[in-house]
Amino acid sequence: MFGKGREDRRFHWFITIFLCFIVLIVAYPLFFVVIASISDPQAVITGEVLLLPRGIQFTGYDKIIHNTELQRGFLNTIIYTAVGTSINLVLTVCAAYPLSRKDVMGRQLVTAFLLFTMFFSGGMIPTYLLIRDLGMINTVWAMILPNAVSVVNVIIMRTYFQTTIPGEVQEAASIDGCGNLKMLWKVVLPLSMPIIAVMILFYSVAHWNAYFNAMLYLNDRKMYPLQLLLREILVQDDLQDMVSLGDDSLLKNVLTTESIKYAAVIAANLPVLLLYPFLQKYFVKGIFIGAVKG
């Protein structure tokens, strides 16, 4: 018994050390971006910033605050995320709830059709031609409608409805005179807050980080999301790194871009990081029930 307890303690210490090492690997890049955003950009470029900031300054944040284009991009991203997530959530619920009902004819066929679209699609060029012919180029809808619903999320929510909402509750509501819409609104959705929180998290993060559709469908810079503007900053910084730094004006431009780059990364990801703690308790429960069972 004593030997077994000692082995358990060794295993416990091994797991603890291993997990701490993993946390360090995952957390350090984020920590580095934070300290680099408030450090002297020349110290960052020369590799002097490792564990503590050097020459603390807030030039990057000041440039972001006073940059009207980045402010507009931030507002555009908020609009795309809010409207897109709302549409995603409504369509996902409307698709998942009927597919979870055993009394719906042909639900297996519809599910198979949805699964088919996960593996086969028209491709980027046919999709672009479709968006163009629908007149959505350079509009808000080009950022929202092409990804209006995710089949994976529909399957997760359908599984949650099937395994978590008791059939007896729905039958009782039906006997009391509830129609399908009233049952969905009054019975199913109030019992589905964990999976709804998971869907909000999945869709909002996807919209917040989206930039590829903007590259394809948006030509007006006033409609660019924040992530696309951030990508331009990163690409511009990479191009400048390949240029000789003999010119003082070019060097100053590179240092300023370096400060803006790290500050923009923090500003772009801070809202998502603040969202996770509020949805964490729902996230773990909802994704476990929705994805593992069934």
Q: In this model, does residue 33 exceed pLDDT 80?
A: yes
Specify if 1 maps to a domain: no
Specify if 7 maps to a domain: no
How much is the pTM? 0.79
Specify if 178 maps to a domain: yes
Higher pLDDT, 34 or 250: 34
> Do 70 and 264 touch, CB atoms closer than 8 A?
yes
Could you give the CA distance from residue 283 to residue 197 in angstroms, rounded to a whole number? 7
> Do 201 and 272 touch, CB atoms closer than 8 A?
no
Q: In this model, does residue 182 exceed pLDDT 90?
A: no
Q: In this model, does residue 279 exceed pLDDT 80?
A: no
Specify if 22 maps to a domain: no
| 270: containing domain | 68-292
Residue 235 is classified by DSSP as H
Specify if 106 maps to a domain: yes
Given this model, what pLDDT does residue 17 score?
92
Given this model, what pLDDT does residue 78 score?
92
106-150 pLDDT, tens digit per residue, is 888 988 888 888 888 778 888 899 999 999 999 999 999 888 888
Specify if 34 maps to a domain: no
CA-derived radius of gyration, the chain: 25
Q: In this model, does residue 263 exceed pLDDT 60?
A: yes
